[in-house]
Amino acid sequence: MNEDKVARGLGWFSIGLGLVEMLAPRPLARVLGTPHTGIIRVFGLREFVAGVGILAPNKPAPPWLWARVGGDALNMGALGLTYQNNAATRKAVGVSLVAVVAIATLDLWCARQLKPYKWPIDQQ
């Protein structure tokens, strides 16, 4: 598996998910059974910025992938709280949690595989 291609795919995924979370938090909040659209927008912004950071350099930079790993941990915590507090949407939240764990595993693998990015100024 080519970690650069996986990283770029994660970057595009991050941008897409971030846009959905920023532009349409209400439908997402309804599915998850939470009134917290503001936090969904903030999570979306974080997701979008990480995606742009991954795609910006010629070679994906590990710090942006590690930002995704940290964001995955935040998402799992938020989903865990939502799972506990809302029996009506538990199935949707459970599926979301499984998806986040799967993508977090991929994020972690990719972040560990990539070598630190050397900026042109450092290569002298």
pLDDT (tens digit per residue) in 77-109: 999 988 887 788 889 999 999 999 999 999 999
The residue range of the domain holding 29 is: 3-118
Residue 96 near residue 43 (C-beta atoms within 8 A): no
DSSP string, 6-38: HHHHHHHHHHHHHHHHHH-HHHHHHHHT---HH
Phi then psi for residue 70, to 5 deg, are: -60, -40
Does pLDDT of 45 surpass 80? yes
Find all residues with CB under 8 Å of 83, minimum gap 6, and list them. Answer: 90, 93, 94, 97
Question: Is residue 86 included in any domain, yes or no?
Answer: yes
Residue 79 near residue 28 (C-beta atoms within 8 A): no
Residue type at 115? Answer: K
Question: Is the pTM here over 0.75, yes or no?
Answer: yes
Question: Is residue 124 included in any domain, yes or no?
Answer: no
Our measurement of the distance from residue 122's CA atom to the centroid of its chain's CA atoms, rounded to an integer in Å, reads 29
- Give the pLDDT confidence of 23-42 residue by residue, as tens digits: 999 999 999 888 899 999 99
Question: Is residue 123 included in any domain, yes or no?
Answer: no
Q: State how many domains the chain has.
A: 1
- The pLDDT of residue 123 is 56
Question: Is residue 76 included in any domain, yes or no?
Answer: yes
